[in-house]
Amino acid sequence: MLTLGVESSCDDLSMALVEAGRVLANVTASQTAAHAPFGGVVPEIASRRHLEALEATLDLTLKKAQKNLSQLRGIAATFAPGLVGSLLVGLNFAKALAMALQIPFRGVHHIEGHLWSAALENSVETPFLGLAVSGGHSHLYLVKGVGDYQVLGHTVDDAAGEAFDKIAKLIGLGYPGGPAIDRLSERGDPAAFYFALPRVKGHPLHTSFSGMKTAAVDYFRRHGDSPQFQANLAASFQAAVVRALSTMVARALQHHPVKQVVLAGGVACNRALRAALQELLQDRDIRLAMPSPQYCTDNGAMIAFTGEKYLEGSEDSPLSLNAFARSPLGQGSPGRKGL
Ligand code: KG4
Ligand code: ZN
């Protein structure tokens, strides 16, 4: 069923049209340049820009897919988690459009969308282990189907993307930091600086990035900031984050012998992480599904895809569904019975 997906949880407004799981168009209005001078996302700017971009983004999405509004059969939008002002713009737009067109609406959890983003281009079979790594999450899930998510492990402090962004800021690489660290690491030595593998007592599947961050700040203060030092610190820090995440996956596989692992979220763009997981899994004959970079970062396609799955089963959400800054995935659903 032709489904429009609206994603507006942070600083990108993205809309997509998906039909029978296939992406017909995905259009993203990026605000990166507007936030870069501030070194991070300014919530008020983000929501205002979303509001300004709604109409043109919808028009362009329909045009690219060569569809019109009357052909839509369902609308999905991210309802949580994220910046509430940003979420409300996309969510209310989607609900109003669904009401005007008298078609069903579905709220989708942002991380749930990320977990299914690998299915946009790959065949994905359940059960799978899903590692969602973004600016706000570093969570490992056992996914048994749409709506069936069990958290196996997570960071107990910073998310991986947040840690990359902070270290990039420290080195002076600007915002967003993850891609800058990825690029700079190419010229650095990943073994130049030692970072201990994080341990969370009693929780072998949890991880932590705050200790690494403190160690990086310490190295920065002690060793100056020559270009080679910066590249070495970036490469060593990146290697440590990748080691922590790969360890989470390797440990989870000991207890959950799945045939497929899905890597998702903005940090899934990271080339070292992609390579490390590929290496880890090919030795064990487990398939790795990763979205292409355009579907790793926030996109409307993952929301439309997930929304379509629910709507195909007539699992729509009430138009009273609100936006939530925080909402753990797997605890309640925004369907008519949940939340
Ligand atoms: O999923 P996403 O687009 O938005 C959130 O849901 O947070 O993820 C954004 C995060 C940012 O922290 C960004 O620095 C990080 O993903 N990121 C990367 C790379 N590309 C984006 N981190 C490491 N390496 C990259 N290549
Ligand atoms: Zn995201």
| Domain spans in the chain, listed from the N-terminal domain onward | 2-115+295-312, 126-290
- Report the nearest-CA residue for atom 12 of ligand 1: 161
Q: Which ligand has the minimum distance to the alpha carbon of residue 159?
A: 1
pLDDT bucket at 338, cuts 50 / 70 / 90: low
pLDDT bucket at 283, cuts 50 / 70 / 90: confident
**Ligand 1 neighbours (beta carbon < 6 A):** 10, 134-136, 161, 164-165, 176-179, 182, 265-267, 269-270, 297-298
Residue 161 CA to ligand 1 centre (angstroms) = 5
Q: Which ligand has the minimum distance to the alpha carbon of residue 293?
A: 1
What pLDDT sits at residue 172?
92
What pLDDT sits at residue 185?
98
User: Mean of the per-residue pLDDT values for the chain?
Assistant: 96
pLDDT for residue 247 is more than 90: yes
Average pLDDT score over residue span 43-72? 98
* The domain made up of 2-115+295-312 is a member of CATH 3.30.420.40: yes
- Report the nearest-CA residue for atom 21 of ligand 1: 266
- Report the nearest-CA residue for atom 7 of ligand 1: 135
Tokens of 24: 């017909």
- Residue 192 phi/psi, 5-degree rounding, is -65, -40
What pLDDT sits at residue 176?
87
Average pLDDT score over residue span 62-72? 98
2-115+295-312 and 126-290 in the same fold: yes
pTM value is 0.96
Residue that has been written with the tokens 């995440």 in this structure: 245
The answer to whether the beta carbons of residues 304 and 3 sit under 8 Å apart is yes
pLDDT for residue 184 is more than 70: yes
pLDDT bucket at 336, cuts 50 / 70 / 90: low
Q: Which atom of ligand 1 is nearest to the CA of 269?
A: 26
Provide the edge-to-edge strand list for the sheet that holds 287-289: 148-154, 138-145, 128-133, 260-264, 287-289
The superfamily (CATH) of domain 126-290 is: ATPase, nucleotide binding domain (3.30.420.40)
Q: Which atom of ligand 1 is nearest to the CA of 135?
A: 7
